[in-house]
Structure 1
Amino acid sequence: MQINQILVPTDFSENAQHALDYAIGLAKQCSAKLHLLHTPVVPTYLLMDLSYSPGPEAVTRILNDSQEALDAQAKSIDDAGIEHFAAIREGTVHEVIRDYAKEHDVDLVVVGTHGRTGVSKLMYGSVTERVIKTVHTPIIVVPPGGHDKSPSCIVISYDFSGPAKRAAEVARAIHGMVGGSLHLVHSYLDVWGEYTDRGAVVGEAAEKRREALRLGLQEMLEADAEELFSIDPASIQTHLVTGDPAEGILEVAKKVAATLICAGTTGKSGIERLLIGSVARRLLHDSQVPLLLTH
């Protein structure tokens, strides 16, 4: 795949500006076009168990203010010399983003997040999570402080599942334009580890099986790395980690100074799209660098 069209939904907040700054940098590196999209929120007021919406004049004022703010953000894209489009669409935010992305063949959506104190709100039922669950397009979530990180060192959480392979494909596309290094990380359960000190016979047998499992997984990982990337082997490294998957991925990311983490939203457990898988959820909560998620 190629990154030709990047969509940035905006609510004009500081977090949305971070996402836009990141997207501008990425668009320059990928020679992509940018789409800036705003969905205005018309407040509804409750009075005596009845709901009231603002009148036509108030709605017009909201739309005019939105257009002014959108024009200001669009100017920053224009100043960067990037071809762009700006639109205001009314409706439910995550549905508007989904439909716009499909209509314009968007390759990547870039959104911002709140800081750690606001992540729990973001994670459980917020607009961002609904966007992640609804939009079929790969999404990069930019945390505070992550907007100035070029994706030149990419860590891919890889469990051999379809979503993980799709995350690797997007990583390959970005790497092809940006360059840098790639790290393919697989986390597995060390089922034989607890038996290695259970006496000579059991311990020796367990150690053999433990090593066989590690070697088998390493062979599978290297084979998939070659198949998925078909690039100079020196530019991609494979990592096997045991224990908590999210912690292992984050440890590797910290060790190699990753500037982008890629993962599937769900893995081999078969969790439906109605949910975000536990590993992706942990990464979304704890990653201090931009996180790319795919279905």
Structure 2
Amino acid sequence: MSQTVDSVLVPTDGSEGARIGARRGIDLAATVGADLHVLSVVETRDIEGGLDSHEQTEREQLLEEEAKGAVDSIARLARTHLSGRITTAVEPGIPFQTINDYVDTHDIDLVVMGTQGQTGFERVVLGSVAERTVRTAAVPTITVTPDADIVEVGEQRYENVLLPTDGSEGAELAIDWGITLAGLFDATVHTVYSVDTSRFGSAEGTEIHGSLEQTGQEALETVKERARAADVSLAGSLASGPAARTILSYSEEHDIDLIVMGTHGRSGLSRYLIGSVTETVVRNATVPVCCVPMQ
């Protein structure tokens, strides 16, 4: 089933990392003719604690002015490229929670954001606003690393989209989004299934290898059938080794421009993104990653 993208949300905190993500979001909105929403959250925890009421008021005003400047900067960049409506907002709260509330309130279809913001480059994505948004958002979130190529709006080309699969429900839900995004850019879909026996002893691993290969072939065939139905070009292959390492290696070797994957695989809904294949890929990929939730 093809997905529709009528509205794109770009959160920003005014940092260069956020701006890198915003360029991708604007570019995608321009490609599909979607409305763009630009949101900056005034972190309430930055206002409270150790300040008297006057100091809190001054601090709040300063942060609101900075937030308004951040959204206005992105909006100015977007206005020369978009035909859809541009909405800006500054709201107080805890960033990832406020982003999720905004998604629900404004019927957002897709979030695009940088993985590094005002926290600085010394912090990895673990614990950041981007990771918490990926964990909890009800819609797909595209994370853009500071290492991603900096492109001008209107010049981004997604020629190769990687859609990893493990045959799980989470991977199934990501297939439609991967094929939809590939179709928008007339890109080729690459799909890969990793046969990983590293968790087992040598004898046990040899015994189940054939079973995993069979599961992998079935999972790849599911992606191929969906791609053929959508008239999207596809390349698929089995690989060996830990899934995250396989995905990252495949991405580098095949000039992948975008990775699309579910936030949960065979570990199930009971696990957060922490420790999952998706989190490892988000942390280490040098290209944007579209994380599709189970909802």
Band the TM-score falls in, shorter-chain normalisation: 0.7 to 0.9
What is aligned with 2:221? 223
Matched, 1:76 2:83: no
SS at match of 1:128: helix
Distance 1:153 1:223 in 2: 19
Q: 1:29 aligns with which of 16, 28, 31?
A: 31
* 3-state SS, counterpart of residue 176 of structure 2: helix
Helix, strand or coil: the match of 2:123?
Answer: helix
1:218 Cα deviation after fit: 5.0
CA distance in 2, matches of 1:132, 1:234: 27
Q: How far off is 1:234 after superposition? A: 7.3
Partner of 2:175: 168
Q: CA deviation digits over 1:65-93, x for unaligned, max 9?
A: 43233222211111213421111111111
Moved more, 149-158 or 27-36: 149-158
TM-score w.r.t. the length of structure 2 is 0.83
CA 1:119–1:275: 2 relative to 1, 3 Å? farther
Aligned equivalents of 1:126, 1:232: Cα separation in 2: 36
Question: Which one has the bigger helix percentage?
Answer: 1
Deviation at 1:119, TM superposition (A): 7.2
Which stretch shifts more, 27-36 or 11-20? Answer: 27-36
- Superposed CA offset, 1:19-70 (max 9, x none): 11111111122221111001113534655xxx54634344234323432332
Q: Where in structure 1 do 4 or more consecutive aligned residues deviate above 4 Å?
A: 117-120, 190-196, 209-213
| 1:235 matched residue in structure 2 | 233
The match for 2:113 is 111
Distance 1:78 1:103, change over 3 A: same
- Offset at 1:162? 1.8
Deviation at residue 245 of structure 1 after TM alignment? 0.7
Change in 2 beyond 3 A, CA 1:242/1:67 = same
1:193 is displaced (CA, Å) by 10
- Contact kept, 8 Å, 2:8 with 2:110, in 1: the verdict is yes
Task: Give the corresponding residue for 1:266.
Answer: 264
Larger Rg: 1
Superposition pairs of residues 42-53 of structure 1, within 5 angstroms:
42=44, 43-44=46-47, 47=50, 52=52
2:287 aligned residue (280, 286, 289): 289
Evaluate the alpha carbon distance shift between residue 219 and residue 244 of structure 1 in structure 2; reply closer, same or farther with a 3 A threshold. Answer: closer
Q: Which runs of 5+ in 1 are unaligned?
A: 197-205
Q: Secondary structure at the match of 1:289?
A: coil
The whole-number CA distance in structure 2 between the counterparts of 1:280 and 1:218 is 18
- Which amino acid is 1:76 matched to? L
Hey, what does 1:66 align to over in structure 2?
A: 67
Residue 113 of structure 1 contacts residue 119 of structure 1 at CA under 8 Å; is this kept in 2? no
CA distance in 1, matches of 2:212, 2:136: 37
| Conserved 8 A contact 1:113-1:143 | yes
Counterpart position of 2:101: 99
**Structure 1 stretch 10-19 or stretch 248-257: which is displaced more?**
248-257
Are residues 164 and 120 of structure 1, via their aligned partners in 2, closer, same or farther at CA, if it must alter by over 3 Å? farther
1:40 to 39, 42, 49: 42
> Does the Cα contact within 8 Å between 2:179 and 2:230 map onto a contact in 1?
no
Cα distance in 1 for partners of 2:6, 2:142 equals: 15
Query: Any idea what the Cα deviations from partners look like across 1:225-284, whole Å, max 9, x if unmatched?
Result: 244333477711112111111111111111210000112122112253544342112101
1:34–1:82: 8 Å Cα contact kept in structure 2? no
Q: What amino acid is the match of 1:110?
A: V
> Greater CA deviation, 250-259 or 216-225?
216-225
CA distance in 2, matches of 1:174, 1:103: 24
Deviates more, 1:285-294 or 1:26-35: 26-35
Structure-2 separation of matches of 1:234 and 1:193: 40
Are residues 74 and 172 of structure 1, via their aligned partners in 2, closer, same or farther at CA, if it must alter by over 3 Å?
same
How far is the alpha carbon of 1:141 from its aligned partner? 0.4
Confirm or deny: 8 A CA contact 1:25 1:150 kept in the other structure: no
Q: Show the counterpart of 2:190.
A: 183
- The one-letter amino acid of 2:81's match is A
Distance 1:63 1:186 in 2: 47
Q: Give the structure 2 partner of residue 87 of structure 1.
A: 89
Structure 1: how far apart are the matches of 2:209 and 2:61?
67
Question: 101, 111, 130: which one pairs with 1:128?
Answer: 130
Q: Are the equivalent residues in 1 in contact too, given 2:42–2:92 (CA < 8 A)?
A: yes
Structure 1 residue 99: Cα displacement: 1.0
Once the two structures are TM-superposed, the CA of residue 213 in structure 1 deviates from its matched residue by 5.1
1:11 match: 13
The SS at the match of 1:90 is: strand
1:159 aligns with 2:160: no
